[in-house]
Structure 1
Amino acid sequence: MQHLITLPILLPLIAGIILLLPPCGKSLVMRRWVATFMALFTCITSMMLLNEVINHGSIVYAIGEWQPPFGIVLFADPLAVILTILTSFLTLVTVIYASRADDKAGSFYHPLTHFLLMGVNGAFLTGDLFNLFVFFEVLLIASYALMMHKKDKHTTKAALHYVILNLVGSSIFLIALGILYGVLGTLNIADMAVKVAALQGDDIFLAKIGGLMLLIVFALKAALLPLHLWLPATYGRAMPVVAAQFAIMTKVGVYAMMRVFTMIFGEQAGELSGLASTWLWPLALVTLVVGAVGVLAAEDLRRLSANLVIVSVGTLIAMVALNDEKATAVAIFYMIHSTIACAAMFLVADMVALQRGKVQDRFVNSRSVAEPKLLGFCFVTAAIALAGLPPLSGFIAKLWLLEASYSVGVAWVFWPIYLLGSLATLVALSRAGTSLFWHDHPNHEEQFEDNVYAGKRRAMALVIILSVPVLMSVFASHISDISSQAAASLHNTQVAIDTVFALAKEQ
């Protein structure tokens, strides 16, 4: 079982290579089956890893048996493994959905999705900042190619902006790592957490500069204001099935903030304690407001869904900024919920666009969709989840968010902004549903092409992903307990440090 931690990274890598080689490389049917099986296998192994971590504590794995902090270290705690399960599950759903027709646009869709999965899982499981940079680059390269899977000039323009911004972010990331390595002599997260508290004199200011540069990079990845402008265009122009998989990408930036600014620059960091909180709190609230305005201003369902991602990012980072264990627990629960709900809405938007002809998913009068019952049910379910209405998990997350902010003493500012943002989401989704499903012009003689129907694969994918908010509501107590355990593990920095260096003593 000691090698289990490597499988969420190795399995997608192996899958990507297999999918590029014959016979998979020449058979679309075989690519679909292999991609689906490997995504499912990755999801199952991630669940096994979570069970191991919950029952026996965090796992540290030294690649090549090089002792930390000198070698490459993988670190699996409940938070990291929860997110690998979320990523693997999302990949499984999108692979099933894309197998209906979307993967026909290019030969490399399935390999790229698994390389993206490898990069995201690696970012969650790494215990070293340099390897966090490496996995960032892996997932970004895969995401660049997936953005171009839809070949038109608007997508090319959005992809170009996305690439340029991320290249700038990668440059800043490298500079920040150079500064921190020069000051601390290490990039192992646990070792940095020990050494940052002992800094003196000018080294404190250099470390502060390096830490704030990391904050800029992570804010760009998470789409935190004012570095959020790339997201609506990128997610709105990408193929919806790709945008659905990209719903996890902003959470990589949020996770990096949680890990770095809780463990390295947390309460034990001396003069650098709480380095990011001063910046994150106001920026998170403004991001929430801007996202809500974008939701109201959206003219199509895909752009609305993209702005809902921004709303979720603002909400998440507001909880991260509180630097409180209870707030972190609700952030983990809300992260799972919001990622799934936003991804589901992107898939619904794709089906609506396919069945409404030239107007696609724009909020204008048009012909009726070919499958109004299926799509109407899916839209309403996703909308209830995103608006935070009972009985789905969004309502539970909303109550928990309000309670967490109240217990920390910031309810007076968070409640009005968050509740108004929820109202804006509800109004926008109501308008969207009315425009797409009520203000139509039925034409019973009109014939629809076969590829616009959901089919078994798309219907299965929609049912699977929309079952998650329901199951999260049914098993809310169990999931909240796991979220609380993950938050406790994240905030107990000394235990994480001891776990990492216990491995060095054993070897």
Structure 2
Amino acid sequence: MMTHLPVLPILIPMVIGALMLIPPFNQVNAVQRTLGALASVLMLMISILLLVEVDTSGTHLYAVGEWQPPFGILMVVDRLSAILLVLTSVLTLSVQLFASSGEDGHGRFFQPLLMFQVMGIQGAFLTGDIFNLFVFFEVLLIASYGLLVHGGGKQKTAANVHYVILNLAGSALFLIALGILYGTFGTLNMADMARVAPTIEGGNLTLAKSGALLLVVVFGLKSAMLPLQFWLPKGYSAAPAPVAALFAIMTKVGIYSLWRVHLGIFGPEAGGLADLALPWIWPLAWLTLVVGIISVLASETLRHLAANLVMVSVGSLLLMVATATETATSAGLYYLVHSTLATALIFLVAGLVVNQRGKAEDRLVSARAMPQAALIGTVFFIAALALIGMPPLSGFIGKALMMQATLDAGEAGWIWPPLLISSLAALVMLSRTGSTLFWRTREGKPGTAEVHPLQWAGIAVLLVALLALVVGAGWMSEFSERAAADLFEGIDTSVLAGGVSK
């Protein structure tokens, strides 16, 4: 049943994106939007099917062209990659619906760029080879360059220049690291590298360590780990609302890569390369969370606040990466799904606020009342409760799981305080933001802008997903435990004929 399913999350957005560049589908109209919506729904259905299959049958390996590893291109669908495929598909559907209200009409190529970025993100989650991880990174980054300046404007252009230059430098470091690792390991297949790692000695060991630490820099840049986080607030706050919502998962690709590479390859059984990144990740993760908290308290607009909340989530997740236990990885995975959905929702709400507040946009100043303040305020209130971590919403469950994991690992003394303070900072700023935007209004006639039904549809997708994360919290936490176990057990590439490996 799963023979060719693992490659479809890459092929579908690639084919649809290319089709959208060819007449008569290259015009922003109902046909192009319908095509994008159908592709988003199809990707969601396939990702759910993959998740169900790997949860019941085990990890699925797909050798492209039947070239066997370590020489061929290997796609790996385990529980970790499957749940992130579902998350990406949910986010894509939400963003595509929201943008189809007219936001995509501010530039000709929004819909195809969206497809190509999703192709890169899902390819990064599926690949079992570090070189192909680099390839998919480049695909998603090139698409993101175009999406960030969608609609034009000086602010977007300035943010994009910094974003592009920094990521070009990261790509160069990535290639250097790959060259070093290939020279020492003789392969870039992740499972094969995990097998070879304990055998590396002497001068090759020093080279391998330098290559592995270069990857920490690269993945730290992608995830916005301190001191490489300065691109995130400006870039995310300048992007159009649906683009910023999609970017909510971009930093999580960096977190996923740290899990996949530094726990899967350079984990506790890697001999002289074992856990070499953890002494660096520990302090940087803690500082990333602290700086995120300070930035949250200094936010001046709703979009800046949402971007800084992404940084807080990154710091929290990096602490789970550094803890490097199955329990911490499981808790981090649940929190990753929650934080991506909740911050994406805040970005979409910010888009609605900008449209309805006139010149004040989403700045935290008094302005005229919004014509649909009650409805928008209700969505904001739900998203805020989730981000603060109020029970019984998913934010509370995620933070409780992370706190329990760090308690079990004996690290609660210095991880609990920033985790709890981050919730307090979110409570203070989201309360201030909500009261300023929805209650402290000046006299005057409200504007006439109304929320488009497709914008409500995009927001509804995220609300339903957050609700499902609460209702299915038991199943999701158990699934996360099994996903973490998959990661720590590694992949057996010797079983390819049947396509399944447990």
Q: How does the TM-score come out when normalised to structure 1?
A: 0.97
**Which whole-Å CA distance do the structure 2 matches of 1:385 and 1:480 have between them?**
17
* 1:410-432 CA-partner distances (Å, limit 9, x unpaired): 11101111111110111010110
8 Å CA contact 1:61, 1:73 repeated in 2: yes
Offset of residue 23 of structure 1: 2.2
TM alignment of 1:69-468, pairs within 5 A: 69-443=70-444, 445-448=445-448, 452-468=449-465
**Which whole-Å CA distance do the structure 2 matches of 1:293 and 1:267 have between them?**
34
**Which whole-Å CA distance do the structure 2 matches of 1:419 and 1:391 have between them?**
16
Aligned alpha-carbon RMSD (Å) = 1.3
Q: Which amino acid aligns with 2:484?
A: A
- 2:494 paired residue number: 501
**Which whole-Å CA distance do the structure 2 matches of 1:45 and 1:447 have between them?**
42
Listed as ranges, the gaps of 5+ residues in structure 1 are none
8 Å CA contact 1:68, 1:504 repeated in 2: no
Offset of residue 501 of structure 1: 2.1
Q: Which amino acid aligns with 1:171?
A: A
Say which is worse superposed, 246-255 or 464-473, in terms of deviation: 464-473
8 Å CA contact 1:172, 1:217 repeated in 2: yes
Residues 1:477 and 2:474 aligned together: yes
Offset of residue 47 of structure 1: 0.7
- 1:4 paired residue number: 5
Q: How does the TM-score come out when normalised to structure 2?
A: 0.98
* 1:201-240 CA-partner distances (Å, limit 9, x unpaired): 1111100000000000000000000000000000010111
Q: Secondary structure at the residue paired with 1:501?
A: coil
Offset of residue 150 of structure 1: 2.6
Percent identity of equivalent pairs? 49
- 1:65 paired residue number: 66
**Which whole-Å CA distance do the structure 1 matches of 2:270 and 2:498 have between them?**
24
- 1:40 paired residue number: 41
Listed as ranges, the gaps of 5+ residues in structure 2 are none
* 1:361-407 CA-partner distances (Å, limit 9, x unpaired): 00000001110111110100000000000121111111111111101
Say which is worse superposed, 278-287 or 379-388, in terms of deviation: 278-287
* 1:241-269 CA-partner distances (Å, limit 9, x unpaired): 10000000000000000000111100110
8 Å CA contact 1:150, 1:238 repeated in 2: no
Offset of residue 101 of structure 1: 1.4
**Which whole-Å CA distance do the structure 2 matches of 1:124 and 1:114 have between them?**
15
Question: Aligned residues, how many?
Answer: 499
Q: Which amino acid aligns with 2:299?
A: A
- 2:486 paired residue number: 489
Q: Secondary structure at the residue paired with 2:26?
A: helix
Offset of residue 22 of structure 1: 2.2
* 1:334-368 CA-partner distances (Å, limit 9, x unpaired): 00000000000000011011111101000000001
**Which whole-Å CA distance do the structure 2 matches of 1:369 and 1:281 have between them?**
44
8 Å CA contact 1:287, 1:310 repeated in 2: yes
Provide runs of 4+ in structure 1 moved above 6 Å.
none
**Which whole-Å CA distance do the structure 1 matches of 2:147 and 2:170 have between them?**
19
Offset of residue 107 of structure 1: 1.4
**Which whole-Å CA distance do the structure 2 matches of 1:261 and 1:79 have between them?**
15
Offset of residue 470 of structure 1: 2.0
Q: Which amino acid aligns with 2:57?
A: H
8 Å CA contact 2:370, 2:446 repeated in 1: no
* 1:434-477 CA-partner distances (Å, limit 9, x unpaired): 1111111243x4442xxx31121111111221222222111110
**Which whole-Å CA distance do the structure 2 matches of 1:178 and 1:488 have between them?**
30
Q: Secondary structure at the residue paired with 2:61?
A: strand
8 Å CA contact 1:67, 1:504 repeated in 2: no
* 1:251-309 CA-partner distances (Å, limit 9, x unpaired): 00000000001111001100110111111111111101100111110000000000000
**Which whole-Å CA distance do the structure 1 matches of 2:246 and 2:8 have between them?**
20
Offset of residue 504 of structure 1: 7.5
8 Å CA contact 1:35, 1:95 repeated in 2: yes
Q: Secondary structure at the residue paired with 1:20?
A: coil
**Which whole-Å CA distance do the structure 1 matches of 2:316 and 2:452 have between them?**
35
**Which whole-Å CA distance do the structure 2 matches of 1:447 and 1:388 have between them?**
33
Q: Secondary structure at the residue paired with 1:502?
A: coil
Offset of residue 27 of structure 1: 5.2
8 Å CA contact 2:371, 2:446 repeated in 1: no
* 1:86-105 CA-partner distances (Å, limit 9, x unpaired): 11110110000011110111
**Which whole-Å CA distance do the structure 2 matches of 1:203 and 1:441 have between them?**
68
* 1:154-185 CA-partner distances (Å, limit 9, x unpaired): 11010000000000000000000000001111
8 Å CA contact 2:28, 2:104 repeated in 1: no
8 Å CA contact 2:368, 2:446 repeated in 1: no
